């Protein structure tokens, strides 16, 4: 991921003036001030946090249903690191104004505002700057707009699509995801060793793979970015002020990030339980509080040093 090419070229130097006479040379013109070549940063100052949601709605553009993908993405204040933190959909949490329940129900109860408030409270009052939502058709559209992408694949599998009988082979690492395969990949939990926990890892791998693909397009054909992000804007619901021009500037910023600059985590759980007849994931309250403190400070490195990145309870 190298810095985006195509910045404003420097002004050509002024040609040397020729003396009119030997005794009275013409003064040399001052050198022009170099044009800044850095891309603008469209984000607020400090660390910036976005909530990424994938809903299970099969009605294109409805953005309703349950939130099966719940992920916090935070870029550091210096724009040199990115943290991706998943929250399992069955985490049993406090939902502001609605008692306790599985966290994915917060979206069904009160939409974007409710689930944002729930995630914020889970992490001790974390400020969320943007919310980005996609439904099934939206995610498929993003995958197609990118012409597919590669994702790291820790758990090779083969999946039979019940509706069509098609067998999808996810045995490679990395795995190339195109068309509807990306959605099948991030939704699979049966057949994975830790079920939904491994599914969250796949979802983070897909986000990282999409960012890599955007960087590749920005490097090879930066003129294609306005059209690409136009497709994105038509398939996503974004809460917060983020224009297509801002997305293009962010693509340039993201090219400074390498894979090692991305930290992939899951909000910690201490195990599995039952609440009112529902199978739930029991939140590790103390460790989640530590993760929340790290996110609010804009730096999870201390948390990772103490707890690591393993998500098995």
Q: Is it the case that residue 238 has pLDDT exceeding 50?
A: yes
Strand pairing category for 269-275 and 278-283: antiparallel
| Length of the chain (residues) | 313
Top-confidence range, 16-20, 33-37, 143-147, 244-248: 143-147
Given a cut of 60, whether residue 32 has pLDDT beyond it is no
Mean pLDDT, residues 15-36: 43
Q: At residue 174, does pLDDT exceed 50?
A: yes
Domain locations along the chain: 48-307
* pTM of structure: 0.85
- The class that CATH gives domain 48-307 is alpha beta
DSSP string across 210-267: HHHHHHHHHHH-GGGHHHHHHHHHHH-EEES---HHHHHHHHHHHTT--GGGEEEEE-
pLDDT in tens, 265-285: 999 999 999 999 999 999 999
Quick check: helix, strand or coil at residue 33?
A: coil
Tell me the mean pLDDT in the region 148-167: 93
In three-state secondary structure terms, 98 is coil
């Amino acid at each position: 991921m190298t810095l985006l090419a195509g910045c404003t070229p420097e002004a050509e130097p002024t040609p040397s003036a020729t003396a009119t006479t030997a005794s009275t040379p013409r003064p040399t013109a001052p050198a022009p001030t170099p044009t800044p070549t850095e891309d603008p940063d469209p984000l607020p100052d400090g660390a910036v946090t976005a909530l990424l949601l994938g809903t299970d709605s099969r009605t294109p553009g409805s953005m309703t249903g349950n939130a099966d993908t719940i992920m916090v993405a935070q870029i550091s204040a210096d724009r040199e690191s990115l943290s991706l933190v998943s929250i399992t959909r069955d985490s049993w949490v406090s939902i502001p104004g609605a008692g306790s329940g599985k966290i994915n129900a917060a979206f069904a109860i009160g939409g974007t505002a409710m689930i944002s408030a729930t995630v914020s409270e889970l992490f001790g009052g974390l400020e969320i700057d943007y919310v980005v939502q996609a439904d099934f058709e939206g995610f498929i559209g993003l995958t197609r707009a990118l012409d597919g992408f590669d994702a790291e694949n820790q758990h090779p599998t083969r999946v039979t699509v019940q509706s069509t009988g098609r067998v999808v082979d996810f045995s490679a690492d990395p795995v190339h995801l195109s068309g509807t395969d990306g959605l099948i990949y991030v939704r699979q939990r049966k057949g994975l060793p830790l079920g939904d926990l491994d599914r969250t890892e796949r979802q983070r791998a897909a986000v990282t793979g999409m960012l890599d693909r955007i960087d590749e397009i920005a490097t090879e054909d930066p003129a294609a970015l306005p059209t690409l992000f136009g497709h994105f804007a038509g398939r996503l619901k974004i809460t917060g002020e983020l224009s297509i021009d801002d997305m293009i500037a962010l693509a340039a910023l993201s090219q400074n990030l390498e894979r090692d600059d991305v930290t992939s985590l899951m909000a910690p759980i201490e195990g599995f339980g039952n609440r009112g007849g529902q199978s739930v994931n029991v939140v590790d309250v103390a460790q989640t509080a530590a993760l929340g403190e790290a996110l609010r400070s804009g730096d999870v490195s201390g948390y990772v040093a103490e707890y690591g990145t393993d998500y098995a309870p």
